Amino acid sequence: MTDALVILGAGVMGTGIATLALVHGTPVTLVDTTEEALTAARRTIAKGQRMAQLMGAAPEGVKPAELTTSVDLAEALAARPVLAVIEAITEDAALKAEVLGRVAVAVKPGTPVVTNTSSIPIDELADAVARPEDLLGVHFMNPSYLISTVELARGRRTGDAAEQAAVRVLESWRRKVIVVSDAPGFVTSRLLHPMINNAARVVQEGTASVSEVDALMQGCLGHPTGPLRTADLIGIDNLVDSLRVLHERTGDESCRPCELLLSKVRDGHFGRKTGRGFYEYGDALS
Ligand SMILES: NC(=O)c1ccc[n+]([C@@H]2O[C@H](COP(=O)([O-])OP(=O)(O)OC[C@H]3O[C@@H](n4cnc5c(N)ncnc54)[C@H](O)[C@@H]3O)[C@@H](O)[C@H]2O)c1
Protein backbone atom coordinates (compact mmCIF):
# COMPACT_ATOMS: atom_id res chain seq x y z
CA MET A 1 0.00 0.00 0.00
CA THR A 2 1.44 3.42 -0.99
CA ASP A 3 2.15 5.71 1.95
CA ALA A 4 -0.47 8.43 2.36
CA LEU A 5 -0.01 12.07 3.19
CA VAL A 6 -2.20 12.98 6.15
CA ILE A 7 -3.45 16.58 6.08
CA LEU A 8 -5.13 18.11 9.13
CA GLY A 9 -7.59 20.91 8.41
CA ALA A 10 -9.77 20.95 5.28
CA GLY A 11 -9.99 24.72 4.88
CA VAL A 12 -8.38 27.01 2.32
CA MET A 13 -4.88 25.57 2.77
CA GLY A 14 -5.69 21.94 3.53
CA THR A 15 -7.74 21.64 0.32
CA GLY A 16 -5.07 23.42 -1.75
CA ILE A 17 -2.25 21.21 -0.43
CA ALA A 18 -4.41 18.11 -0.93
CA THR A 19 -5.00 19.15 -4.56
CA LEU A 20 -1.26 19.59 -5.09
CA ALA A 21 -0.44 16.15 -3.66
CA LEU A 22 -3.26 14.32 -5.47
CA VAL A 23 -2.45 15.67 -8.94
CA HIS A 24 1.15 14.51 -8.39
CA GLY A 25 -0.06 10.98 -7.54
CA THR A 26 0.32 11.11 -3.73
CA PRO A 27 -2.67 9.60 -1.86
CA VAL A 28 -4.14 11.92 0.77
CA THR A 29 -6.11 11.39 3.96
CA LEU A 30 -7.76 14.69 4.86
CA VAL A 31 -8.94 15.23 8.44
CA ASP A 32 -11.31 17.88 9.81
CA THR A 33 -13.70 18.09 12.73
CA THR A 34 -17.00 17.77 10.80
CA GLU A 35 -18.36 15.76 7.87
CA GLU A 36 -19.79 19.03 6.47
CA ALA A 37 -16.30 20.52 6.22
CA LEU A 38 -15.04 17.37 4.49
CA THR A 39 -17.93 17.28 2.01
CA ALA A 40 -17.27 20.92 1.08
CA ALA A 41 -13.54 20.11 0.84
CA ARG A 42 -14.18 17.28 -1.65
CA ARG A 43 -15.96 19.78 -3.93
CA THR A 44 -13.18 22.36 -3.58
CA ILE A 45 -10.51 19.77 -4.31
CA ALA A 46 -12.34 18.49 -7.41
CA LYS A 47 -12.51 22.10 -8.66
CA GLY A 48 -8.84 22.61 -7.79
CA GLN A 49 -7.82 19.50 -9.71
CA ARG A 50 -9.64 20.77 -12.81
CA MET A 51 -8.00 24.18 -12.39
CA ALA A 52 -4.54 22.60 -11.95
CA GLN A 53 -5.05 20.68 -15.18
CA LEU A 54 -6.26 23.76 -17.08
CA MET A 55 -3.32 25.84 -15.83
CA GLY A 56 -0.72 23.19 -16.67
CA ALA A 57 0.03 22.71 -12.95
CA ALA A 58 -0.72 18.97 -12.99
CA PRO A 59 1.99 16.73 -14.46
CA GLU A 60 1.00 14.93 -17.66
CA GLY A 61 0.67 11.17 -17.57
CA VAL A 62 0.21 10.98 -13.77
CA LYS A 63 -3.05 9.45 -12.57
CA PRO A 64 -4.53 11.56 -9.73
CA ALA A 65 -4.29 9.65 -6.46
CA GLU A 66 -7.08 8.63 -4.11
CA LEU A 67 -8.54 11.05 -1.55
CA THR A 68 -9.80 9.66 1.78
CA THR A 69 -11.46 11.82 4.41
CA SER A 70 -11.93 11.34 8.15
CA VAL A 71 -13.16 13.13 11.26
CA ASP A 72 -11.06 10.81 13.43
CA LEU A 73 -7.40 11.80 13.68
CA ALA A 74 -6.22 8.63 15.45
CA GLU A 75 -7.99 6.40 12.93
CA ALA A 76 -6.60 8.39 9.98
CA LEU A 77 -3.05 8.01 11.30
CA ALA A 78 -3.45 4.28 11.96
CA ALA A 79 -5.25 3.30 8.74
CA ARG A 80 -2.19 3.04 6.47
CA PRO A 81 1.53 3.90 6.37
CA VAL A 82 2.09 7.65 6.67
CA LEU A 83 4.42 9.52 4.31
CA ALA A 84 4.22 12.76 6.31
CA VAL A 85 1.66 14.77 8.26
CA ILE A 86 0.85 18.33 7.28
CA GLU A 87 -1.07 20.34 9.87
CA ALA A 88 -3.14 23.14 8.29
CA ILE A 89 -5.68 23.92 11.03
CA THR A 90 -6.72 27.31 12.39
CA GLU A 91 -3.88 29.72 13.30
CA ASP A 92 -4.16 29.24 17.06
CA ALA A 93 -0.98 28.31 18.92
CA ALA A 94 -2.68 26.37 21.74
CA LEU A 95 -4.87 24.39 19.35
CA LYS A 96 -1.94 23.57 17.07
CA ALA A 97 0.21 22.51 20.03
CA GLU A 98 -2.51 20.17 21.27
CA VAL A 99 -3.10 18.58 17.85
CA LEU A 100 0.61 18.29 16.97
CA GLY A 101 1.24 16.67 20.35
CA ARG A 102 -1.33 13.98 19.54
CA VAL A 103 0.12 13.46 16.05
CA ALA A 104 3.69 13.12 17.30
CA VAL A 105 2.92 10.17 19.58
CA ALA A 106 0.84 8.39 16.92
CA VAL A 107 3.30 8.37 13.98
CA LYS A 108 6.48 6.32 13.56
CA PRO A 109 9.68 8.11 14.64
CA GLY A 110 11.25 9.75 11.58
CA THR A 111 7.90 10.67 9.98
CA PRO A 112 8.06 14.39 9.09
CA VAL A 113 5.48 16.35 11.06
CA VAL A 114 4.93 19.58 9.18
CA THR A 115 3.06 22.66 10.28
CA ASN A 116 1.75 25.11 7.71
CA THR A 117 1.51 27.88 10.30
CA SER A 118 1.81 31.39 8.86
CA SER A 119 3.45 32.97 11.86
CA ILE A 120 3.91 30.78 14.96
CA PRO A 121 7.60 30.00 15.55
CA ILE A 122 8.40 26.31 14.99
CA ASP A 123 10.43 26.09 18.17
CA GLU A 124 7.42 27.26 20.18
CA LEU A 125 5.30 24.40 18.74
CA ALA A 126 8.22 21.98 19.22
CA ASP A 127 7.68 22.18 23.00
CA ALA A 128 4.41 20.25 22.47
CA VAL A 129 5.77 17.30 20.49
CA ALA A 130 7.51 14.14 21.62
CA ARG A 131 10.28 14.35 18.98
CA PRO A 132 11.04 18.00 18.10
CA GLU A 133 13.61 16.78 15.53
CA ASP A 134 10.74 15.52 13.33
CA LEU A 135 8.89 18.88 13.36
CA LEU A 136 9.37 21.59 10.75
CA GLY A 137 7.44 24.38 9.07
CA VAL A 138 6.48 24.33 5.41
CA HIS A 139 4.71 27.52 4.52
CA PHE A 140 2.70 26.85 1.37
CA MET A 141 1.06 29.81 -0.33
CA ASN A 142 -2.50 29.90 -1.61
CA PRO A 143 -3.39 28.33 -4.00
CA SER A 144 -0.72 25.79 -3.17
CA TYR A 145 -1.12 23.86 -6.42
CA LEU A 146 -0.40 26.99 -8.50
CA ILE A 147 2.33 28.71 -6.49
CA SER A 148 5.44 26.66 -7.02
CA THR A 149 7.77 28.13 -4.37
CA VAL A 150 7.48 27.13 -0.70
CA GLU A 151 9.18 28.52 2.38
CA LEU A 152 10.61 25.79 4.62
CA ALA A 153 11.24 26.96 8.19
CA ARG A 154 13.72 25.00 10.28
CA GLY A 155 13.19 25.21 13.99
CA ARG A 156 16.18 25.27 16.33
CA ARG A 157 15.54 21.57 17.09
CA THR A 158 14.50 20.41 13.58
CA GLY A 159 16.67 17.49 12.46
CA ASP A 160 18.42 17.13 9.09
CA ALA A 161 16.57 13.87 8.38
CA ALA A 162 13.12 15.49 8.72
CA GLU A 163 14.17 18.44 6.58
CA GLN A 164 15.59 16.18 3.87
CA ALA A 165 12.54 13.90 3.88
CA ALA A 166 10.23 16.92 3.54
CA VAL A 167 12.34 18.38 0.73
CA ARG A 168 12.18 15.04 -1.13
CA VAL A 169 8.38 15.07 -0.97
CA LEU A 170 8.17 18.74 -1.99
CA GLU A 171 10.54 18.23 -4.92
CA SER A 172 8.53 15.21 -6.07
CA TRP A 173 5.67 17.73 -6.38
CA ARG A 174 7.99 20.03 -8.38
CA ARG A 175 8.14 22.71 -5.66
CA LYS A 176 11.07 25.08 -5.31
CA VAL A 177 12.06 25.03 -1.63
CA ILE A 178 13.67 28.02 0.10
CA VAL A 179 14.94 27.14 3.60
CA VAL A 180 14.84 29.92 6.21
CA SER A 181 15.46 30.18 9.94
CA ASP A 182 12.76 30.21 12.56
CA ALA A 183 11.11 33.51 13.59
CA PRO A 184 7.56 34.85 14.00
CA GLY A 185 6.15 34.97 10.45
CA PHE A 186 9.42 33.62 8.97
CA VAL A 187 10.05 35.79 5.86
CA THR A 188 6.85 35.89 3.86
CA SER A 189 4.24 36.59 6.58
CA ARG A 190 6.63 38.95 8.41
CA LEU A 191 6.74 41.10 5.26
CA LEU A 192 3.35 40.53 3.64
CA HIS A 193 0.96 40.64 6.59
CA PRO A 194 1.90 44.06 8.03
CA MET A 195 1.91 45.38 4.46
CA ILE A 196 -1.70 44.24 3.97
CA ASN A 197 -2.60 45.65 7.41
CA ASN A 198 -1.16 49.02 6.35
CA ALA A 199 -3.05 48.85 3.04
CA ALA A 200 -6.30 48.36 4.99
CA ARG A 201 -5.30 51.23 7.30
CA VAL A 202 -4.83 53.51 4.27
CA VAL A 203 -8.43 52.72 3.24
CA GLN A 204 -9.63 53.17 6.84
CA GLU A 205 -8.02 56.64 6.96
CA GLY A 206 -9.75 57.66 3.71
CA THR A 207 -6.59 58.18 1.67
CA ALA A 208 -7.77 55.93 -1.16
CA SER A 209 -10.41 53.32 -1.98
CA VAL A 210 -9.86 49.57 -1.93
CA SER A 211 -9.57 49.37 -5.73
CA GLU A 212 -7.27 52.42 -5.88
CA VAL A 213 -4.87 50.89 -3.33
CA ASP A 214 -4.74 47.63 -5.26
CA ALA A 215 -4.44 49.40 -8.64
CA LEU A 216 -1.49 51.47 -7.39
CA MET A 217 0.28 48.48 -5.86
CA GLN A 218 -0.26 46.49 -9.06
CA GLY A 219 0.44 49.20 -11.62
CA CYS A 220 3.27 51.06 -9.89
CA LEU A 221 4.92 48.35 -7.81
CA GLY A 222 4.20 45.15 -9.71
CA HIS A 223 2.24 43.41 -6.95
CA PRO A 224 0.40 40.61 -8.79
CA THR A 225 -3.08 41.01 -7.27
CA GLY A 226 -2.88 44.01 -4.92
CA PRO A 227 -2.70 43.64 -1.12
CA LEU A 228 -6.44 43.83 -0.43
CA ARG A 229 -7.41 41.26 -3.04
CA THR A 230 -4.64 39.13 -1.53
CA ALA A 231 -6.28 39.57 1.90
CA ASP A 232 -9.52 38.20 0.42
CA LEU A 233 -7.63 35.24 -1.02
CA ILE A 234 -5.87 34.48 2.28
CA GLY A 235 -9.04 34.85 4.36
CA ILE A 236 -9.33 37.98 6.53
CA ASP A 237 -10.09 35.86 9.63
CA ASN A 238 -6.83 33.97 9.15
CA LEU A 239 -4.94 37.18 8.37
CA VAL A 240 -6.13 38.76 11.64
CA ASP A 241 -5.11 35.63 13.60
CA SER A 242 -1.69 35.75 11.99
CA LEU A 243 -1.27 39.49 12.66
CA ARG A 244 -2.13 38.89 16.33
CA VAL A 245 0.51 36.16 16.53
CA LEU A 246 3.05 38.52 14.96
CA HIS A 247 2.09 41.47 17.17
CA GLU A 248 2.24 39.41 20.37
CA ARG A 249 5.63 37.93 19.52
CA THR A 250 7.42 40.93 17.96
CA GLY A 251 5.75 43.96 19.60
CA ASP A 252 5.73 45.54 16.14
CA GLU A 253 2.78 47.98 16.06
CA SER A 254 2.42 47.62 12.29
CA CYS A 255 1.20 44.09 13.05
CA ARG A 256 -1.65 45.17 15.36
CA PRO A 257 -4.74 44.35 13.23
CA CYS A 258 -6.43 47.60 12.18
CA GLU A 259 -10.10 48.34 12.88
CA LEU A 260 -11.19 47.82 9.27
CA LEU A 261 -9.84 44.25 9.27
CA LEU A 262 -11.40 43.55 12.67
CA SER A 263 -14.78 44.88 11.52
CA LYS A 264 -14.72 42.60 8.45
CA VAL A 265 -14.11 39.60 10.72
CA ARG A 266 -16.93 40.70 13.08
CA ASP A 267 -19.28 40.96 10.06
CA GLY A 268 -18.28 37.51 8.73
CA HIS A 269 -16.82 39.05 5.56
CA PHE A 270 -13.74 36.83 5.43
CA GLY A 271 -13.05 37.28 1.70
CA ARG A 272 -13.12 34.77 -1.12
CA LYS A 273 -14.20 31.87 1.10
CA THR A 274 -17.42 33.57 2.29
CA GLY A 275 -18.17 35.39 -0.96
CA ARG A 276 -17.40 38.85 0.45
CA GLY A 277 -14.41 40.65 1.92
CA PHE A 278 -12.89 43.77 0.39
CA TYR A 279 -14.54 42.64 -2.85
CA GLU A 280 -17.64 40.57 -3.65
CA TYR A 281 -17.50 37.14 -5.30
CA GLY A 282 -20.28 35.25 -7.04
CA ASP A 283 -19.19 31.81 -5.83
CA ALA A 284 -18.37 31.52 -2.13
CA LEU A 285 -16.04 28.62 -1.41
CA SER A 286 -17.79 27.62 1.83
N1 LIG B 1 -4.99 31.17 3.97
C2 LIG B 1 -3.76 31.34 3.54
O3 LIG B 1 -3.52 32.00 2.51
C4 LIG B 1 -2.61 30.73 4.28
C5 LIG B 1 -1.34 30.70 3.68
C6 LIG B 1 -0.28 30.05 4.34
C7 LIG B 1 -0.50 29.47 5.58
N8 LIG B 1 -1.73 29.53 6.16
C9 LIG B 1 -1.91 28.86 7.45
O10 LIG B 1 -2.52 27.59 7.21
C11 LIG B 1 -3.34 27.23 8.34
C12 LIG B 1 -4.77 26.99 7.88
O13 LIG B 1 -5.26 28.20 7.32
P14 LIG B 1 -6.57 28.23 6.39
O15 LIG B 1 -6.55 29.53 5.69
O16 LIG B 1 -6.68 26.97 5.63
O17 LIG B 1 -7.71 28.25 7.53
P18 LIG B 1 -9.24 27.85 7.38
O19 LIG B 1 -9.95 28.57 8.45
O20 LIG B 1 -9.70 28.02 5.96
O21 LIG B 1 -9.23 26.26 7.68
C22 LIG B 1 -8.87 25.74 8.90
C23 LIG B 1 -9.54 24.38 9.03
O24 LIG B 1 -9.02 23.70 10.18
C25 LIG B 1 -10.08 22.98 10.74
N26 LIG B 1 -9.76 22.59 12.12
C27 LIG B 1 -9.75 23.35 13.24
N28 LIG B 1 -9.39 22.61 14.30
C29 LIG B 1 -9.15 21.36 13.83
C30 LIG B 1 -8.75 20.15 14.45
N31 LIG B 1 -8.53 20.07 15.76
N32 LIG B 1 -8.59 19.04 13.67
C33 LIG B 1 -8.85 19.09 12.34
N34 LIG B 1 -9.23 20.23 11.71
C35 LIG B 1 -9.38 21.34 12.44
C36 LIG B 1 -11.28 23.92 10.63
O37 LIG B 1 -12.51 23.23 10.78
C38 LIG B 1 -11.06 24.48 9.22
O39 LIG B 1 -11.72 23.68 8.24
C40 LIG B 1 -3.21 28.38 9.34
O41 LIG B 1 -2.19 28.08 10.23
C42 LIG B 1 -2.82 29.55 8.44
O43 LIG B 1 -2.17 30.56 9.15
C44 LIG B 1 -2.79 30.13 5.54
Rounded to the nearest angstrom, the distance between the alpha carbon of 243 and the centre of ligand 1 is 15
Residues 249-268 as b/e (b if ≥16 CB within 10 A, e otherwise) read: bbeeeebbbbebbeebbeee
* Closest CA to ligand 1's atom 20: 11
**175 and 194 assigned to the same domain:** no
Provide mean pLDDT across the span 82-103.
Answer: 98
**151 and 238 assigned to the same domain:** no
Is residue 20 predicted with pLDDT exceeding 90? yes
Rounded to the nearest angstrom, the distance between the alpha carbon of 90 and the centre of ligand 1 is 4
Tens-place pLDDT, residues 167-219: 999 999 999 999 999 999 999 999 999 999 999 999 999 999 999 999 999 99
Supply the mean pLDDT for the chain.
97
> What CATH number should be reported for the domain holding residue 230?
1.10.1040.10
Ligand 1 contact, 9 CB (< 6 A): yes
Residue after which a domain boundary falls, among 181, 210, 234:
181
pLDDT of residue 284: 54
Is residue 77 predicted with pLDDT exceeding 80? yes
Ligand 1 contact, 274 CB (< 6 A): no
Rounded to the nearest angstrom, the distance between the alpha carbon of 224 and the centre of ligand 1 is 24
Ligand 1 contact, 234 CB (< 6 A): yes
Domain span at residue 245 reads 188-274
**75 and 153 assigned to the same domain:** yes
**159 and 201 assigned to the same domain:** no
Ligand 1 contact, 39 CB (< 6 A): no
Tens-place pLDDT, residues 251-278: 999 999 999 999 999 999 999 999 999 9
> What CATH number should be reported for the domain holding residue 90?
3.40.50.720
Q: 171 lies in a domain?
A: yes
139 is catalytic: yes
Is residue 283 predicted with pLDDT exceeding 80? no
Rounded to the nearest angstrom, the distance between the alpha carbon of 228 and the centre of ligand 1 is 20
With cut-offs at 50, 70 and 90, classify the pLDDT of residue 286.
Answer: very low
pLDDT of residue 262: 98
Ligand 1 contact, 16 CB (< 6 A): no
**79 and 201 assigned to the same domain:** no
Edge-to-edge strand ranges of the sheet holding 82-87: 67-70, 28-31, 4-8, 82-87, 113-115, 135-139, 149-154, 176-181
Euclidean distance between the first and final Cα of the chain, in Å? 33
With cut-offs at 50, 70 and 90, classify the pLDDT of residue 282.
Answer: confident
Residue after which a domain boundary falls, among 166, 181, 196:
181
Provide mean pLDDT across the span 91-118.
Answer: 98
* Closest CA to ligand 1's atom 38: 11
Number of domains in the chain: 2
Is residue 285 predicted with pLDDT exceeding 70? no
